[in-house]
Structure 1
Amino acid sequence: MSTGITRRTPVLITVGIVVVLAAALLVGWRAVEGTANAATPGDRSVEAGFSRDMAVHHQQAVEMSFIVRDRTDDEAVRTLAYDVINTQANQRGMLLGWLESWGLNKTSTRAPMTWMGHGAMYEAKDGSLMPGMATNTQLDQLRKATGKDAEILYLRLMTAHHQGGIDMARGAVKTAGDDKLVRLARTMVDGQRAEIDLMADMLAQRGAEAGQ
């Protein structure tokens, strides 16, 4: 009996050493991974580009929502406008705050959307700097509209705005390495998809469609 125990002892010791080494390697790998994820994004990173562009994109959504708030008395549209104002103003603050914490400028001389790759370059026109953004002409139309006309125009413009924002956020989810930014981008996708569905119903109630 004692001989059997003696023979198994070296094996048990060897197995124990292997387990300890494996655990140590796993801990070390996780530590390295955590350090990589925590690396500060550079000026030309996806994180920097997305944060700058989406801050501008969000700012226009807030602007349009303030405009329609004063152009209609419809409670449903005004409630949606308040939700957009609060959500996107808060998200914009987070994006700008991250840029500051990374030691990066909040603006860049680079063209919008370059962080998504050359194929995603967008031709800016009439104040529309990125996909989905309203033109200056459309904003002027919204400012002049009232009542149902203002509601329909706002819902159409915001639907297109959200669709452009979703594409940008999905691009960040696929290519960004900063965990907190990816989580925020996913939140944008889910939240704006839900609002697009809501706005489709609101347009239908007014005898209109988003694409008209």
Structure 2
Amino acid sequence: MNSLRTAPRPVKIALGAAVLLAVGLLVASGVLSLRVGEPDSADPVDVGFSQDMSVHHLQGVRMASLAREKSQDRLIRQLAFDIETTQLEQTGRMKGWLSLWNEPDLAPGNPMTWMAGEHDQHASQRTAMPGMAAKQDLDRLRSLDGPEFDVFFLQLMIRHHRGGAPMMQYAAQEADRPQVRNLAQQMLTAQTAEIDAMRRMLEERGARPLPD
């Protein structure tokens, strides 16, 4: 009985290690995606977006990885796999850029201060990015099974995607480097389609999205 009780911890540790390893392996793709000969520096939007969106993505990866392991629904597992693999690759690319620019993986101050207007109105109060699931939400997700798990996963992921959309929209318009603008637009297009698909999945299950 004791071995059964302690089983989730090594599984959780292995899952976290796998995510970190995958990101590490993908960082090189981010470095190679920039053109040879470009200066090893970037403006605040390029840096801030890459830092904050990497953090945002990695929580989405962890939720998707959990859904891929726990859900009994084939469509949910496929969706989770798509989110996990796509956002891991994108995170690796952004971390590769940050390495090339000699910038830290994490922003030193509050999130999203690189967006115009955020300094005066919200930056001093904000401690987390919109859409990020709280610890109690993640704990609840881990505790659920079956249809209840599927519904709550969809609800959390819809809110997560919607929360990241303003960062993507801003970077797609204001980032200095075309690689950053293009990636932000690709994210926005893909996640908008995923939100529509997840809304339909919730409706089929008689549920609604969570409030932002």
The answer for the alignment partner of 1:133 in structure 2 is 132
Query: How many residues are treated as equivalent by the alignment?
Result: 170
Say which SS state the counterpart of residue 115 (structure 1) adopts: coil
Is 2:45–2:171's contact at 8 Å kept on the other side of the alignment?
A: yes
Residues 1:94 and 2:97 aligned together: no
Distance in 1 (alpha carbons) for counterparts of 2:159 and 2:182: 23
In the alignment, residue 165 of structure 1 is paired with which amino acid? G
The answer for the alignment partner of 1:195 in structure 2 is 194
The answer for the alignment partner of 2:126 in structure 1 is 123
- Give how far 1:180 is off: 0.5
- Give how far 1:39 is off: 5.0
Distance in 1 (alpha carbons) for counterparts of 2:161 and 2:134: 15
The answer for the alignment partner of 1:161 in structure 2 is 160
Alignment map for 1:33-182 (pairs within 5 Å): 38-42=38-42, 45-116=44-115, 117-118=118-119, 119-121=121-123, 123-124=126-127, 129-182=128-181
Distance in 1 (alpha carbons) for counterparts of 2:161 and 2:87: 11
Say which SS state the counterpart of residue 114 (structure 1) adopts: coil
Distance in 1 (alpha carbons) for counterparts of 2:161 and 2:122: 17
- Give how far 1:73 is off: 0.9
In the alignment, residue 175 of structure 2 is paired with which amino acid? A
Is 1:41–1:47's contact at 8 Å kept on the other side of the alignment?
A: no
The list of structure 1 runs, each at least 4 consecutive aligned residues, that deviate by more than 4 angstroms after superposition, is none
Provide closer, same or farther for how the CA distance between residues 161 and 173 of structure 1 changes in structure 2, counting only shifts above 3 A: same
Is 2:156–2:210's contact at 8 Å kept on the other side of the alignment?
A: no
Cα RMSD (Å) of the superposition? 1.5
Is 2:154–2:202's contact at 8 Å kept on the other side of the alignment?
A: yes
Distance in 2 (alpha carbons) for counterparts of 1:100 and 1:62: 21
After superposition, the C-alpha distances for 1:176-196 in whole angstroms (9 at most, x for unaligned) are 111100000000010000000
Is 1:113–1:120's contact at 8 Å kept on the other side of the alignment?
A: no
Is 2:52–2:107's contact at 8 Å kept on the other side of the alignment?
A: no
- Give how far 1:209 is off: 1.1
The answer for the alignment partner of 2:34 in structure 1 is none
The two structures have a TM-score, normalised by structure 2, of: 0.76
- Give how far 1:165 is off: 1.3
Distance in 2 (alpha carbons) for counterparts of 1:195 and 1:97: 26
After superposition, the C-alpha distances for 1:65-119 in whole angstroms (9 at most, x for unaligned) are 1112222210000000000000000000000001111122212321111111313
The two structures have a TM-score, normalised by structure 1, of: 0.76
Say which SS state the counterpart of residue 70 (structure 1) adopts: helix
Bigger CA radius of gyration: 1
| Unmatched 5+ stretches in structure 1 | 1-37
* Identical-residue share of aligned pairs (%): 39
